[in-house]
Structure 1
Amino acid sequence: MTTLRIALVHSFYASAQPSGENEAVLDQARALRAAGHEVAVVAARTDELARRRLYPVRAAATVASGRGRTPVADLLAFAPDVVHVHNLFPNFGRAWVRGWDGPLVATLHNYRPLCAGATLYRGGSPCSSCLDGDRWAGVRHGCYRDSRAATVPLAWANRRGPAADPLLGRADRLVLLSELSRRTYLGAGIAAERTALIPNFVDDPATGDPVAPTGRWVFAGRLTAEKGALDLLRRWPAGVPLDIVGDGELLDRARSLAPPSVRFLGRLDRTELRRRLPSWLGLVFPSRCLEGAPLVQLEALAAGLPILAFEGSSVAESVRADGTGAVVSWDEPLPPALSHAAARFPGLRAHCRRVFEDSYTERTWLRSTEGLYREVLGVSPPAGR
């Protein structure tokens, strides 16, 4: 494809809370550069901005009004062929997109335009109250950071529903990461022809020294309510080995619920986690929210690691569709499900690896994304491609 000038716009979340969105943006910038494109990452970084005086007030005002810090000056200086917005919350305003004259694509990594908490989850199960028209439900329940006050700017910004969201209305194409996410946004009123389903990718792991198999299961994620770790530990059979990789506000509670066969390994950096993944029996994914497309799912497949997913998330749908593990409901007994999976999963490793190679590599993502850029630019693909 002809070399393009591509601007990725992203408000980076604080590093204290590891973010798959941050990682995905950096991965995509690297992949596009490696393909020969000129790429500028136009960033606002919470780690830097949060040190400034009155930052919480300024961020809240930007979220509520849609005005404030904008990337426009940097974009004009770079003069991109395509602007690709990943995240504007909470450090960029949204109003600027209406006046941007040029192709604009946006990836919807989460459900923030539909939900103050960005997860469509509350109190142990999926929640669509705000999406269904009760615009202030998030405030009543304190859905953002368990705080009514902190939720007000988000509820105000979303008060007129998805149709009034500047980014949803202006983007030439909206990228969704999973079929479940796509269906959810279509249900919110987004026209199908304005969407593109392009899953994330992860690097193909470098071949290193083999890691000895442990025969243990692994959960890897934030220890927060929507990720389901507490619900998993309440059901986890005594004597079945499980490793918990991650940290979060519910760590102490998780430790109190865990039987002696559960080990807490803390937070592992991405490289170390990927090195160890082949050693586990399978990835347990108990998320209670819909999810977008968590990178840990793709990293497991790249390592040839099958997934035991609980019903209700995009990962469960993917596992069922691709045959990359097993899906269990929250109502069924867990011990027999684990026993059955433990017997099947070693034979699924090669298949999981093939699914990764077919669907979640950098090459596959790049082909789809370059095609999307050609589409919004009105450029036909070169002959023979």
Structure 2
Amino acid sequence: MNRPLRFCMITTFYPPYHFGGDAIFVQALANELVFRGHHVEVIHCRDAYRLLARHEPPNGYEDHPNVIVHGLESRFGWLSPMATQQTGRPLFKGKAIEQVLSRGFDVIHYHNISLVGGPQILTIGDAIKLYTPHEFWLTCPTHVLLRRNREPCTQPRCVACTLSYGRPPQWWRYSDLLPSSLRHVDRFLAPSRFSMEMHRAHGLELPLVHLPYFLPNMDSSREVASPPPGLAAGSPYFLFVGRLERLKGLQTVIPVFRNYPKAQLFIAGKGDYEGPLRALAAGADNIHFLGHLRRGELRFLYTGAVGLIVPSMCYEMSPFVVIEAFAHGTPVIVR
């Protein structure tokens, strides 16, 4: 096929309405496809971001001008993603999604669909359908297979575990909704072989193929590598990049650096667990919280770091930050 293809990406989060690496990957993929001459539209849910973040994102969209982004909003606000979480259906956004998909696409590529439409969104539209599972949402209501936010899950107790996270159980998971919806997908693109093994181990017999993440050509990046404002120079530093949540395990790393002043720890990211982490680091002059950084600032930090630290307590699919570090020749230390 010689003509440009029409792609539609469907995901809950998309920059700047996002929290982590899956949204960064979707944005990179969308922009790379447009750069190669294809037509790309993105559907995501602004209400879902506002429900979880409780504020507006810090920046606007930074995409190729030919990437068309549909940031869906409902007059019901946060009730819209909550209704999807509980029913597995795009109750308040279904018509808007159908309207976009009615434009006709060659490929519909699903990513994190948990709050933008649930399983039923897989049945909407007529195209080749691809699904990249960036987390374990297909098998785990909390997405991460971390039992009660404490240890990797080996024996599921889903209702009790979901309640321990402060979330209501998803009773649709005990119906035929998920398996019947998955039958509408042509291929599932696993970012790692481990991801394939884990999904199969949990009983999902899907047409899975291994397709690793990619990074766009850094030489053509529009953002020049530059230091974050106020960066403390000096001794060698290690780097953490990601959401500040308990499951990311940073609380096990900070005490090490409190007792090792010869190196600095730079922490790039924001999250609900930032308060306890800052309290744990209080008084340690070699531990620095940098907040949300731009792409060029992260490139600068990757290049100079002794190593990237990935201390996650949960199973990781294929952390995007690891690929970014390797692209800069930076070693990675993982749990």
Deviation (angstroms), 1:252: 2.9
Match of 2:272 in 1: 249
Distance 1:59 1:82, change over 3 A: same
SS in 2 for 1:18: coil
Q: Which has the higher helix share?
A: 1
In 1: Cα distance, 2:150 partner to 2:84 partner = 30
Question: Is the contact between residue 47 and residue 80 of structure 2 (CA under 8 Å) also seen in structure 1?
Answer: no
In 1: Cα distance, 2:129 partner to 2:212 partner = 18
Aligned residues: 296
Match of 2:168 in 1: 151
TM-score normalised according to structure 2 size: 0.77
The answer to whether structure 1 residue 39 and structure 2 residue 40 are counterparts is yes
Match of 1:9 in 2: 10
Distance 1:197 1:167, change over 3 A: farther
Distance 1:277 1:138, change over 3 A: same
In 1: Cα distance, 2:312 partner to 2:191 partner = 16
In 1: Cα distance, 2:131 partner to 2:12 partner = 13
Distance 1:44 1:58, change over 3 A: closer
Deviation (angstroms), 1:191: 2.9
The equivalences for 1:143-222 within 5 A come to 143=165, 147=166, 150-152=167-169, 155-160=170-175, 164-191=178-205, 194-206=207-219, 214-222=235-243
In 2: Cα distance, 1:151 partner to 1:103 partner = 33
Match of 1:232 in 2: 253
> Which deviates more from structure 2 when the two are superposed, residues 228-237 or residues 103-112?
228-237
Distance 1:47 1:187, change over 3 A: closer
In 1: Cα distance, 2:287 partner to 2:122 partner = 48
| 1:42-63 superposed Cα distances (whole Å, 9 cap, x missing partner) | 3333378867554333322222
Q: What are the ranges of 5 or more consecutive residues in structure 2 without an aligned counterpart?
A: 52-72, 228-232
The equivalences for 1:343-358 within 5 A come to none
Deviation (angstroms), 1:239: 2.1
TM-score normalised according to structure 1 size: 0.68
Q: What are the ranges of 5 or more consecutive residues in structure 1 without an aligned counterpart?
A: 311-385
Whose radius of gyration is greater, 1 or 2? Answer: 1
Distance 1:121 1:260, change over 3 A: same
Match of 1:73 in 2: 99
One-letter amino acid matched to 1:106: Y
In 1: Cα distance, 2:6 partner to 2:299 partner = 32
Deviation (angstroms), 1:218: 1.3
| 1:149-178 superposed Cα distances (whole Å, 9 cap, x missing partner) | x333xx2232348x9344433211111111
| 1:339-379 superposed Cα distances (whole Å, 9 cap, x missing partner) | xxxxxxxxxxxxxxxxxxxxxxxxxxxxxxxxxxxxxxxxx
- Percent identity of paired positions between Structure 1 and Structure 2: 27
Match of 1:327 in 2: none
Match of 1:94 in 2: 119
